[in-house]
Structures are given as structure tokens and as C-alpha cells.
Chains A and B, each alone.
Chain A
């Protein structure tokens, strides 16, 4: 494995990336072999897309998510949402019962009655997502027809949309992708001449505000998807530049590109290097003066880099192993490797979108193992054999691995903690420092 670590972006090794990945814009040499990507099949220890509802309903403040599913779906949401469930959350499950399975016509009537009851109770709701689950997909309950039927009935007060968050179709963060993709047809058409940046992917409000201020300082007109209110849909058209803030948005990106949006290629805004490159992609697309760009980002870069540097002493040389979870694994691994000097043992990811990940892969060292998909038992064998210093995994694996003597960082926190942008880079590295620090300090 290539163990050299070069943080300075200007001197970084360049690469043609993986064989199936188009070369990034700045590739100049081909002596690198890039990461080694392979796929694996077997038992997947992952969440389904329904869990995306937990952060999406916080983001779109007047939307409600109605899962059409089983008691298992309701129980999953309850287990994943923790105490949030007691705060009148804007999601619920219409639990399919024995009699709904008898005939489909009946199921549709039952669903309409559920929606009616729900909207009567919650008049503040402006957007309702019917969210498909494994059971509703298998019995072929047509939620897109149901959403059209219900939209016709409740518009203009409530727009009813549908998507699938089922485990058979989506893994964890892909639920957000499916949700946002379902929104795309509703977006108003932008004037072809209107040049606007569309940043796609749910970010913590604090992070979104930081980015909005930066884009404003750069003179770039920027909108965000998802929007915070249902009636504030951003427009899309040929003049729209599409910048993904999250790596798991393949279907949304395709739907936006189908409506004319021009995709920008960039690494994801994780870490100082990633954030600068991501902003630069937008700045270049909008012909921002390089001096202005440097003036705007340099102080934030410096502040962020100084904060991250404090964690470097604790993480440098430490070996890290990622189990697949959110698709954030590759960009986070890139950050930890290049800016904190960690050594990458294996990077598991549920899916690897070749085009969206190309810029990231180019920044990874030669020979690093990327595994798409999962066979959890074999992966556990590899993890134990490698004995990494820290293992990133879900809550079903974390305590058992700790009991075996491996330090772990539970991965779902990477979704619920603000980690994007300059001022969160040290929070992100801090998430990996804490378990190691704790192990070092514990005297029992």
C-alpha cells in the first residue's frame, strides 16, 4: 500500500483514477494505478432508505412523511429516531394489516382514509410524501398513482408526492436521493438565461448558512435543495449549475440533468481541501475572479486548517477500516488520509457512483481497497485480521467489535453531526479522535 501522505493539494499525486472512471480535470500523469475497487455480495448490515426520513423531515419544515409499510417499518423508525419520536415528529407509518393484503382496492381506500385523518390533524402540513417500503413494493401498491389521486384532491393546500425508501431498493442515505428525485418534477422551470447555482443535498442549517454566505461573497446566486419550506421550490433549467453537496444523490442528479441542469465535477466539501475544491468548482463555473476567491476563502481555510492540525498528532499513522453505510466513506477517508495522515485499510461503501466519485478517487492513494456492497461476515474476518486502530461501523457491530478489543466509531453520527465545510472539518476529525482518546484514558 502506498503510505506516503501529501496534504498540500498542489503537490498531490495525480491519477487517472480507476479504469472505469473518467480522468479528473487536472490529471496529468498516468503512472498511478489508483484505488482497487471490487464488489461483494452477501448479508448487508445496513439501514434501509426509510431512515433518511429522520433528517429529511427536520430539513423541510412543513413536510410530512407517511410510510406505507409494516410494523417492522414503524419499529425501525422508532428505534432509529430514538427520543425524537416523542416530539410530535412529522412522520408516521400506515401499518398494513392482514385485511389490507386481501385486496388492493381496499388498501387504496384505507390509505386515503389514513391521509385524510392525518391532514385533518395536521393542517400545517404543506407537502406529504407517501414513502414506499418493502411490503408495499412487494404487494405492488401503486403509491405514485395514490399520490396523484391525493394531490388532485388536496391541492393547492397540500402537494402529495411519493418515493420508495424500501430496503429492497435503497440503502440508508439513498432514501434522501429517492425523496429529492421525487421532488424534481415539481420544481418550477427557470428561464434558460438565468444562471444560478443549485446546491443539492440536505445539509445542517448552520452549514447551509455558511455556504450561502460564501456564495454571496463570491457573487454566485445560489439555491439549495432540499429547501426549508415546501413552497420555496428552487427553479431548474439550462442555466442551472448543479453542485452536489452529498455523494449519494445519483438519481436526483440524473433527474436534474434531464431538466437541463449542468453538473459540476468536484470532490465533496469534507475537510479543508475538499471544501476549497468544491467551492472552486462553483467559482470557476461562474467566472469568479481568482483573487476574490482567494480573499474570501483564505481566512476560512486558515482557521479550519489550524483547527484540524490539532487532531493530526492524535490520528497520524493510525489505521482505519470503514464498513459500508452512507456512501460518505470515500470522501471522509480521503480527508482523514490526506489532511490527518491516517492509513486506509479498507473503505466499504454501499454503492460507488463512478462519475460522482471520480474526483475523490483521484485523491486516494494507489492500491487502497474499496469494497462496494457487503458480505458482512467476510468483511468482519478481514477487519479482525487487519486489526485496525479504528473501525467505522454501524451500531449493530460497534459494541461487539469493542468487546473484541477494536476501537470503533459508529457511523450514523456522521449523518447527524454537521461535518461539511471549513468550520466543521475539525468536528469531523474530532469524531475519530474521541474513541481513541477515551481508550487511552480509561483505567478500567
Chain B
């Protein structure tokens, strides 16, 4: 048993729901106890869908346990067929129904429905949401897709499928739009988009394309590998998130389709490159950033952060165990060891230890960062309702890169603003007691003690109690001379704490008992290297 409050992923049958809900004319009959219908509201509330997910639950209760539940399943499947008239039905069990061992596949077969019925085996006690989505998509493709019979006609444009976008996917709607447009601009014909918006007969003609574009390897990876074997379709390995990855993606498509892509590459790469070169971005250099999310988005965000914004990536991790190898490789390229875990407490510890200035993560990291007082941007599911925005906001392609620049930088700008505001709050002109300057001459109200010529008289920081003892105490912080303390106040407040810590550490390591003006600058020279 594993003690859990937060889970990054839902159980695998929710992954199957994401596929069913993404498609058209598909109905999922799920053998599940009363209460499992809670998953509907992920789609109707978080993604704000205007229709119920196409899922019928058997919602059996304790009094039904025994021979009855199989009959309940058959009746639910029969009724769902008659009511919704789907082109295809998925059948399966949730975690509890897995234990009672009715066989949804066999029961559905016995009904002899005149449509394809795809049974799903989703081991709820071993696997999770993304695996469930990938497996469901794979089973659909395996059941329906066939290799094309005739080769592409002479003169016809090369074609591809776009695989991966689902319901409840982080920015899937706009990523699809962005990449679809890019592919068309390159002169390609998009044969089928799946699962989002596809019907059963679309899955059946997947084999007619020349190759596959895999947007989200977590979801479409196994189906793409199956199609590579069964239909001899190669598939893309680059996920086009970030300017460089998008350019590589375009080149990869060019190679797969045998087309010239230099035009498209020459058109430019959106605004990120210039925004990042403009002098205003100088202060982004070397900002320490911690990245955590699903494998695809974490790898991509780390690359954008390092190459395209000049951040220093100080941590990289994922909850996607299926793609742990890829994340380890990406971390290795950055000189890091990847954090592979689905325990949010471990992630919190790692973030605290790395002490980043920016966290790029999921909804969970947003809250961790909030608690630790660190800036944060969301780059990956799981996300709340605000990350299914009304406005166009892809992560992929060149417009996606524009979105990423704004998203990553915005919380930092905000952070700087906040620092400046609180710095000015202590300033002699902007403090609460100061009267408006245009009134100062006629208004005799006493101004604050601090004279404009010297920094505001900050209370001298009392050394921690341990240090108050004697100089022989080795663990004690070194004492500050009055002169050094005064010098410290000249350092801008938002780096003052760091300067104080560094100086004390420096003095402590060298056994300096009393910090003088010289010690401050010795320490500064030492740490700036």
C-alpha cells in the first residue's frame, strides 16, 4: 500500500475515457461501481465540454454483487447501443470490477452487436492514466487499421496522420491546430487526425498515409510503433515544442515526406528568438530553473529553458515512468540526474534542495512553489480549469514558442516587480510615513528619522541566540562589525540576504570571528569567481 494525497495521474480507465471522449461515434461501456461517474466532471468542468462523455457506467451496488453484475453489464451495453447508436464500442472494467472478474469483452461478444466491440484490459493496480490512454488507442488501431492496398498515385501530395491529441490533454486543442497548419503549409495532406475528432472509419484508413506525426509519445507512441510494423509507416521522433525543436521537426518531416522544407524554415521562427536577444532579457541569464511534468513536456521545457532563454536548469524530472529513459538522457545532457517519481513530497524536497528561482511544472508544482515563495509556470498536466483557456495558446510550433516565452518569463517579471515595490517601500521617499513630496515644504509633519544622505536606519539584525555566546563556539555565526553592517545596507535589499549568508559562510569556513568591511568584499570576490 502506498500513502497518497495527490496523484499526478488518474487510474487507467480515465485514460480510456480520454480516448473515447476525444472521438466521435464511439461509446465506452465501463463496468464500475456507483460513484465512478465522478470522472465525467473532469471533462464537463475542467475541459468545459458541452456534452457528457460518451461513457455508460454499470454503477453496480453491494446488493448486485454475485451473479447479477454480469447481467447488469449486458443490459447496460445493450441499452447504450440502442440509445447512442455508436459506430464502435469500447468495453472494460474499472478497478473494482477488475476484482469481481466479470469479463466485459466476453459478455459484450455474447450480445452480438452489429458494430465492432473492442475489449480493454487495463490493469488498475499496476498502471495509470497515460498508459490507459495509450493502450486504448493501440487496441483501437490494432483492431481497425489496415495497410493501404495501392501506393500513392503519381503527382499526389505526400500524406501523414497526426496522432496523439485527446480529450483532457494539456493544450492539445491548440497544438493540433498549430501543427496541422504547419503541415499543410509544407504541402502535406493530413489523412487522419486521431484520436481527437476521429471516427471508427477514420481509424480504419490510418494505413493510407505515408507516415505518422506523433505529437504526444505518452499517448500515441505504442500505436505509432504498431503502425510502423503493420502498415510500414515511419513516425516522427521530434516533439515540436520550442523554436529549435520545431525547426528540427520541420526538417524531420521534410526527410520523411521527401520534400523541400527550406522555404518554411526561411520564413522565420516567431518572436521568441528576438525577444530572447533583446536587452530586456539579459537578466534571465543563468536564472535557476527546476522542471517537472510529463516526460514530453518536461524534456521540451528543459531544452527551451537552457537553449532559448539561457536559464540554468538545476533539476529535471517526470512522473511518467514509461518514458523515464528519455528523461534520464535529457537530464544527462544537462549534467543532471533525473528525478523519476510520482510522489509529490519527493518533488517538493528536490525543489527545496535545488533552491531554483523558477519552477516549471504541473498544478502540483505550482502549489509547492507558492508555498516556497518561488515563481512558477505550468507546463504539463495535471492542470486545473484555468489551463484550459479560451484564448489560443499552443505549446507547439512557433506560436507555441511565443506562448512559452511569455509563460516562462511572466512570473519572473512579476517577481522583479514585487521586489522593486517592497524595496521602494523601505525607501526614504516611498515609505508609509513619508508625506507626498509636493506637500513637504508647507507641511511640517515629522519625516522619518533616516536622512536622505544615508540608507534608512534598518534595525541592526540581532544575531541568532547561539551566536550571542562566545567566539570560541565553532558553530556560531561570526559577528558583524558596525562598519560592515552599515556596508551591507548599501546592497540592494533583494540580494542583501544572499550577501549576508554568503559572507557568513565565507567567514565561518575560514574561522573569521568578526566580519569587517574587508570580509564582505573578500567573500564577494570568492563567490563571484
Contacts and interface: CB of A to CB of B under 8 A. Distances in A.
Interface of A: 43-51, 68, 70-72, 74-76, 78-80, 83, 85-86, 89, 91-98, 100-101, 107, 110-111, 113-114, 117-118, 134-135, 137-139, 166-169, 171, 377, 394-400, 402-403
Given A138-B99, A399-B44, A85 B6 contact: yes
A168 B128 contact: no
A92 B9 CA distance: 16
A76 B5 contact: no
7 contacts: A44-B37, A76-B38, A101-B99, A134-B35, A134-B96, A167-B36, A169-B61
B214 to A, nearest CB: 26
Contact of A46 (B5, B35, B62, B364): B35
B4 to A, nearest CB: 5
Contact of B60 (A48, A96, A168, A396): A168
Interface in B101-143: 123-126, 128
A45 B37 contact: yes
Given A71-B128, A79-B42, 14 more contacts: A43-B37, A46-B35, A47-B38, A74-B5, A92-B4, A92-B5, A95-B1, A100-B125, A113-B1, A134-B35, A138-B96, A138-B99, A167-B96, A400-B49
Nearest to A87: B367
Interface of B: 1-7, 9-11, 13-14, 33-42, 44-45, 48-52, 56-62, 64-65, 76, 79, 83, 94-96, 99-100, 123-126, 128, 364, 367, 384
A50 B37 CA distance: 13
A139 B99 CA distance: 7
A179 to B, nearest CB: 16
Nearest to A49: B35
B96 A101 contact: no
Given A70-B95, A98-B125, A43 B3 contact: no
Contact of B2 (A72, A78, A94): A94
A403 B51 contact: yes
Nearest to A137: B62
Given A44-B59, A47-B35, A138-B96, A68 B5 contact: no
B516 to A, nearest CB: 45
B6 A78 contact: yes
Contacts of B10: 71-72, 75
A85 B330 CA distance: 31
A89 B6 CA distance: 11
The main secondary structure of chain A at its interface with chain B is helix
B125 A96 contact: yes
Contacts of A395: 40-41, 44-45
Given A75-B11, A98-B125, A135-B99, A396 B2 contact: no
Contacts of B61: 167-169
A168 B33 contact: yes
Residue of A75, A76, A101 most packed against chain B (CB within 10 A)? A75
B5 A399 contact: no
A174 to B, nearest CB: 11
Nearest to B83: A377
A377 B95 contact: no
Contacts of B64: 168
Nearest to A381: B83
A137 B63 CA distance: 13
B395 to A, nearest CB: 24
Contacts of A79: 38-39, 41-42
B57 A43 contact: yes
A167 B34 contact: yes
A44 B51 CA distance: 17
Contacts of A80: 38
A135 B50 contact: no
B4 A168 contact: no
A399 B48 CA distance: 7
A11 to B, nearest CB: 42
A98 B127 CA distance: 10
B1 A72 contact: no
Contacts of B128: 71
B385 to A, nearest CB: 10
A78 B2 CA distance: 16
A16 B337 CA distance: 74
Contacts of A396: 37-38, 40-41, 44, 52
A113 B76 CA distance: 40
B35 A167 contact: yes
A86 B367 contact: yes
A70 B45 contact: no
Contact of B5 (A89, A138, A166, A171): A89
A101 B1 contact: no
Residue of A96, A111, A168 most packed against chain B (CB within 10 A)? A168
Given A92-B4, A137-B62, A70 B41 contact: no
A400 B50 contact: yes
Given A70-B11, A134-B35, A399 B49 contact: yes
A149 to B, nearest CB: 15
B61 to A, nearest CB: 5
Contacts of B384: 83
Nearest to A70: B95
B363 to A, nearest CB: 9
Contacts of A75: 7, 10-11, 14, 39
Contacts of B2: 94-95, 97
B34 A44 contact: yes
Contacts of B65: 138, 168
